[in-house]
Amino acid sequence: MMNPENYLILAALLFAIGSVGVLTRRNALVAFMCVELMLNACNLALVAGSHIHGALDGQVAAFFVMVVAAAEVVVGLAIIVMIYRTRRSTSVDDANLLKL
């Protein structure tokens, strides 16, 4: 068994990659996928924590997070599709009417 701390470091790396992706990607879908990556990094951390403490809560929590993520996808996709139909674009930078 590897040192459980390594899982946490991996989780942190994934989280960082995800957040950098949100910052850099223009396509709303890709940005949204990066958010999902962040959530999954958290899942990894939760499961690792579950392992460290020998308790189940973390794993159960991961399931909850997955369900929630699925629900988020439903809403998110609905919004992105709506935007796409209006603007023929999914670039988050194009939606730039609200400012200042």
Partner 1 sequence: MILLETIAEPVAATGMFTWAWTMIAVPAIVAGLLLLAGKLSDAWGHLVATAAVFWSFAIAVCLFAEQLLAPATERAVAAPAYTWFSVGEWTFQVGLLVDQLSILFAMLITGVGGLIHVYSIGYMSHDPRRRRFFAYLNLFIAAMLLLVLADNYLILFVGWEGVGLASYLLISFWQHKPSAAAAGTKAFVMNRVGDLGMLMAISTMLAMFGSSKFTEVNAGAASTEPMWATLIGLFLLLGACGKSAQVPLQAWLLDAMEGPTPVSALIHAATMVTAGVYLVVRSHALFEAAPTAQMAVIIVATVTLLAGAWIGTSQDDIKKVLAGSTMSQIGYMMLAAGIGPAGYAFAIFHLLTHGFFKANMFLGAGSVMHGMNDDVDMRHYGALSKVMKVTFLTFAMGYLAIIGFPFFSGYFSKDHIIEAAFADNTFIGVCALIGAGITAFYMTRLMLMTFFGEKRWQPGVHPHESPKVMTIPLIILAILSVGAGIVLNFWIQEWLAPAVGNHPHELSLVPTPVGWMTMAVVALGVVAAWLVFGRSSIPVTAPATNNPITLAGRNVLFGDQVNDFLFVSPTTALATGIDTTDARGIDRMVDGGAQAFGGLSTQMRRLQTGYARSYALTMVFGALVVGAVLILTQLG
Partner 2 sequence: MSSILMPVLEMAAPTLEWRALAPVLLVFAAACVGILLEAVLPRAYRFLGQMTLVFATALVSIGFLVINWRGQYGGRLAMGSIMLDGPTYFMWASLLVFGTLAFMVFSERQLNGGATTFAASAASVPGSLDEADATAARYEHTEVFPLGLFALGGMMVFLASSDLIVMFVALEVFSLPLYLLSGMARRRRLLSQEAALKYFLLGAFSSGFFLFGIAMLYVFSGSLDLAAIHTAIEGNAGSNGLVMIGLAFIAIGLLFKVGVVPFHSWTPDVYMGAPTPVTGFMAIATKLAAVGATMRVFYVALDGERWSWQPLFAVLAVLTMVVGIIGALTQSDIKRLLAYSSIAHAGFILVALVGATQTVAAGEGTSASAIMFYLAAYGFATIGAFALVTMVRNAAGEENNIDGWSGVAAKNPWVAGLMSLFMLSFAGIPLTGGFIGKWAVFTAAWRGGYGWLVIVAVLASLVAVYFYLRLIVVMFGRKEAKGVYVGNASAWTWIPVVVGAVATVWMGLVPDQVMQLATFAGGFLR
Applying CB under 8 A, which residues contact partner 2?
Answer: 8, 11, 15, 18-19, 22, 28, 31-32, 35, 38-39, 41-43, 45-46, 48-50, 52-61, 64-65, 68, 71-72, 75-76, 78-80, 82-83, 85-87, 92, 95-99
> Is residue 96 near partner 1 by the rule CB under 8 A?
yes
CB of 18 to partner 1, least distance (A): 11
Q: HSE on the CB side for 65, CA within 13 Å?
A: 19
Q: What is the dihedral of CA 37, 20, 75, 90, to 10 degrees?
A: -130
Distance between CA atoms of residues 74 and 71, nearest Å: 5
Binding residues for partner 1 restricted to 44-73, rule: CB under 8 A: none
Tell me the residue length of the chain.
Answer: 100
Q: What is the DSSP letter of 94?
A: T
Give backbone dihedrals phi and psi of 27, rounded to 5 degrees, phi first: -65, 125
CB of 19 to partner 1, least distance (A): 6
Which spans of this chain sit near partner 1 (rule: CB under 8 A)?
A: 19, 22-24, 26, 31, 92-93, 95-100
